Amino acid sequence: MLYRERLTVPAAWWVLAALLAVSLLAAVGFYLGPVWGIAVAVAAMAVAAGLFWSTAVVIEVDDEELRVGRAVIGRTWISGCAALDVAATDVRGGTGADARAHLVLRPYVPTAVEITLDDPADPVPYWLVSSRRPTRLAAALGPAADAVG
């Protein structure tokens, strides 16, 4: 394994989920009683935890392939990559994006890596992948990596 990163929600999202659970505890507990309030609060936290866990993206690079979530591509099809700063990520993930690109962006991760593909049979020109450590991910993908920004 050359590189591994798990993109999870920030701690502030857990705090917001806990505040929602406390609000539900107070509202339902006042109306139906404390047992129902606690049950609804626990259920709300369980739903939030399930959503947060299921939407986490794992990025892995080894000698053979790049895995981003469920998407996999052989490293032989990668012609280059670039670590993007916040401004470049905003442009490439927004108005400067190619409609055919494979985007794996998370709103809570401000930087990304653009991975250029070289597969004539694949209409996808590049992958744009959120990363908290874009320079390290680009370096793990090979000598074609160059840092931007």
Could you give the strand order of the β-sheet that contains 126-130, starting from the edge strand earlier in sequence? 102-104, 126-130, 112-117, 78-84, 145-147
Nearest to 64 by CA among 136, 1, 118: 1
Q: In a structure prediction context, what are the per-residue pLDDT tens digits for the chain, which is 149 residues long?
A: 899 999 999 999 999 999 999 999 999 999 999 999 999 999 999 999 999 999 999 999 999 999 999 999 999 999 999 999 999 999 999 988 999 999 999 999 999 999 999 988 889 999 999 999 999 999 999 764 444 44
Q: What is the pLDDT of residue 28?
A: 97
Spell out the domain ranges in the chain. 3-54, 62-147
Question: In this structure, are residues 97 and 73 in contact, taking their beta carbons and an 8 Å threshold?
Answer: no
Residue 27 burial (CB count, 10 A): 13
> What is the distance between the alpha carbons of residues 147 and 130, in angstroms, rounded to a whole number?
15
Q: What is the pLDDT of residue 143?
A: 62
β-sheet bridge partners, residue 129? 104, 113
Q: What is the pLDDT of residue 1?
A: 87
- Residue 115, H or E segment: strand 112-117
- For 45-114, give the DSSP string: HHHHHHHHHHT-EEEEE-SSEEEETTEEEEGGGEEEEEEE-HHHHHHHHTTT--TTSEEE--TT---EEE
Question: In this structure, are residues 102 and 78 in contact, taking their beta carbons and an 8 Å threshold?
Answer: no
Q: What is the pLDDT of residue 145?
A: 46
